[in-house]
Amino acid sequence: MGDLKLLYQSIPEIGALYRSKQLSPLELTRLCLKRIEELDPVLNAFITVTAEKALLQAKQAEHELRSGHDRGLLHGIPIALKDLIDTAGIRTTCASRILKDHVANRDAQLVQRLEVAGGVSLGKTNLSEFAMGIAHPDYGPTHNPWNPSHTSGASSGGSAAAVAAGMCFAAVGTDTGGSIRIPASYCGVAGLKPTYGLINLEGVFPLAWSLDHAGPLARSSGDAGLLLQAMTGQSQLWPTQLSGMHFGVIQREGKGIQPEVTAQFDAACAALLAAGAKVEEVQIPDLGQADTALFGVLLPEVSALHARWINNQPEDYAPLTRTQIEMGFAIPAVTYVRAQQFRRYLTRQFLSVLDKVDALLSPTVPWAAPQEDPVFTGDEGTLEGHRTVPHNLTGLPALSVNVGFANNLPVGMQIITKPHTDAFCLGIGSALEGLLPQAQLHPGSPIFK
Amino acid sequence: MMIPLLSAELVRQVSSLAGLELSLERALELIAGLEPIFKGDAEIARLELGSLSPIGTAWPGDEHG
Among A179, A185, A220, A221, the active-site one is A179
pLDDT of residue A57: 98
Rounded Cα gap, residues A222 and A433, in angstroms: 10
ipTM, 2 dp: 0.93
Task: List the single residue in B14, B43, B59 with the smallest CB-CB distance to A395.
Answer: B59
Q: How many CB pairs under 8 A join A and B?
A: 118
Search chain B and give the residue with CA nearest A285. Answer: B47
Rounded Cα gap, residues A49 and B11, in angstroms: 43
pLDDT in tens, B39-56: 999 999 999 899 999 998
pLDDT of residue B4: 58
Which residue blocks in A356-441 are alpha helix, DSSP H? 379-384, 389-394, 422-435
pLDDT of residue A449: 42
Neighbours of A319 (CB within 10 A): 11
- pLDDT tens for chain A, 449 residues long, are 788 999 999 999 999 999 999 999 999 999 999 999 999 999 999 999 999 999 999 999 999 999 999 999 999 999 999 999 999 999 999 999 999 999 999 999 999 999 999 999 999 999 999 999 799 999 999 999 999 999 999 999 999 999 999 999 999 999 999 999 999 999 999 999 999 999 999 999 999 999 999 999 999 999 999 999 999 998 877 888 999 999 999 999 999 999 999 999 999 999 999 999 999 999 999 999 999 999 999 999 999 999 999 999 999 999 999 999 999 999 999 999 999 999 999 999 999 999 999 999 999 999 999 999 988 777 888 899 999 999 999 999 999 999 999 999 999 999 999 999 999 999 999 999 999 999 999 996 444 44
Distance (Å) of CA A37 to CA A48, A50, A82, A91, A146: 12, 12, 18, 20, 18
pLDDT in tens, A300-349: 999 999 999 999 999 999 999 999 999 999 999 999 999 999 999 999 99
Among A24, A121, A152, A155, the active-site one is A155
pLDDT of residue A205: 98
Active site residue A445: no
DSSP at A90:
B
A-chain residues within 8 Å CB-CB of B63? none
What residue ranges of chain B have pLDDT lower than 70?
1-4, 62-65
- Identify the residue among A198, A295, A322, A329 best suited for mutation to test binding to B, counting B beta carbons within 10 A and taking the highest: A329
Test A419 with B64 for CB contact under 8 angstroms: yes
Compute and round to an integer the Cα radius of gyration of chain B. Answer: 17
Rounded Cα gap, residues A90 and A74, in angstroms: 22
Any residues with CB less than 8 A from the CB of B40 and at least 6 apart, and which?
A: A289, A291, A292, A293, A295, A296
Give the H or E element holding residue A64.
Answer: helix A51-66
Rounded Cα gap, residues A407 and A167, in angstroms: 24
Q: What angle do CA B15, B20, B25 make, to 5 degrees?
A: 70
Chain B: give the shortest CA distance to residue A402, in Å.
28
pLDDT of residue A448: 45
Test B30 with A340 for CB contact under 8 angstroms: no
Query: How is chain B split into domains, by residue range?
Result: 8-45
- State the CATH architecture for A1-449: Alpha-Beta Complex (3.90)
Q: Does A430 touch chain B (CB under 8 A)?
A: no
Collect contacts of A252-256 with beta carbons under 8 A, ≥24 apart: A252/A281, A252/A362, A252/A363, A254/A366, A254/A383, A254/A386, A255/A366, A255/A383, A255/A386, A256/A366, A256/A367, A256/A380, A256/A383
pLDDT of residue B65: 40
B56 burial level (CB within 10 Å; 0-12, 13-18, 19+)? exposed
Test B37 with A335 for CB contact under 8 angstroms: yes
Rounded Cα gap, residues A249 and A279, in angstroms: 7
Binding-face residues of A in 407-426 toward B, CB within 8 A? 419-420
A103-112 b/e with 16+ CB inside 10 Å = b? ebeebbbbbb
